[in-house]
Structure 1
Amino acid sequence: MKILQITSARNEKVKRWRKLSTRKGRDEYGSILIEGEKLLGEAIRAGWQVRSVLVSEEGREMLDRLTHLEGIPVYSLYPSTFSQLVDTQTPQGIAAEVVVPHEREPWRLTDGGPVLLLDAVQDPGNLGAILRTAEAAGARDIWLGNGTVDPYNPKVVRSAMGSLFRSRIRRVKLMDAIPKLKKQGYFVVGTAPRAEKNHFETRFPLKTAFLLGNEGRGVSPEVEGMTDATVRIPMPGEVESLNVAVTAGILLFEWVRQKGRESR
């Protein structure tokens, strides 16, 4: 494997990688910069195209443990330059530019699993946790409405811990997407603290779409009015609401529990 040395922080490739820290740059190049041996391995196993690999001195030894890097350019950077490109305080020594798969036409779903609809979820950590929880529950389709944080934000990528690469993420207008889901037989469920039924009392069919909203404002009234049912999560404690990622987990695993019972 040939490793090319870059000695200047003003190198054109370095400038390109630096732009990937912004949404504008990611949209311009159609790629993201991921950091760490584990994330790179996850991206490769998920079939994402790797454009280039970046290493500092301490990252070179990791190259021997990664497969499927044949023909991919590898660049060695000074530690100071490498640390300017990554988002962590303690750089892991290896990063890569990977191509974001093209978002295909989202309306046709074939596996009948649950869908998550996110209305203006803004915290990157929340979205990353939702992606990981959704994968654990078997939900691969995550549709992001207007105002939702960029799913390729470095903090989302890091907190999703590889689940991002295996999720089918689509950015949609929920007002358009929900009617098309319903035409495919999906049952759209929202949450509200004063809903008549709690989530244990509501049957979630195989084709269920869970609608979750902004951390502070919840779901917009226009979108909320398109749901088929609204449920509440019983909370005996003295709190007003749950974190949106926790809510996603509770609803998804109730769906899992119900499907398990029905299959016995």
Structure 2
Amino acid sequence: MTTNLVECINSVLKGAGNLPVLALVRATYYRLNEFFMRKSAETHERKRAGFTYFVFAQLRIEVERIPCRHVIACCANQRIDCQLYVHDVYKMTEVRKVTDTPGLLKRQDEDRNNLEKLTLAVLSHLPTAVLYVHDLSGECGTSPSDQFSIYKEIKERFSGHLWLDVVSKFDLLKPSPVVYATEKPSPTEFELEKYRKSGPDGAIHVSVKTQQGLNELKKKVHELLCLQMAKIKHTMEQPREVRGTTQSVTANL
């Protein structure tokens, strides 16, 4: 048996199974990108049109009269609005767009590859809240001191963004912080030494293995998304001057 997600992806990649590996990877990237961009546009259009539910939920409730015919029949018999029993996850107000951007290396912008440039473009041009993941375990290939330098640069560069710091693999951190052979401990750089041990101030320490911090992370991410949504709405509802006239802009989320 397959999940709905697998069936969805299968429909997108239909006919690509016999392609060479390179062509298959390329087809996967472009087809899925086109699929998610199309669905994103459809969602925005439904929100602008004032719909309450996603297309899927709307059709099943209004046309097909499922997901549970028995409940709908009972509600109709008792003159109860069956939409009261539809979970909020199907409502358009719950739509959130999350982008997993590639990580950055310690180098100048002109030396960055296209994936790193994509990350900077997202931060520069989209109304974005940032969930910044730190890996201080020594297993990610970038030393904690380099991560600290990159973090300080990006945090200062995009200081206007809502921000949440997360230290991953916290179960692997030792009392003595990780120091690469190519770098030297810096006892006089207290901020760096503190970062090596536990990450930036206020960071959530999580571990998938021990489940540490996961519930707190879910709660904080939800709060972050709600705050970002409110920020976007407030920005879009502000009048702005366009060619000498005042234009009121409607939120497009």
Superposition TM-score, scaled by structure 1 size? 0.28
Q: Which has the larger radius of gyration?
A: 2
Larger relative contact order (CA 8 Å, sep ≥ 6): 1
TM score, norm. by length of structure 2: 0.29
Structure that is richer in helix per residue: 2
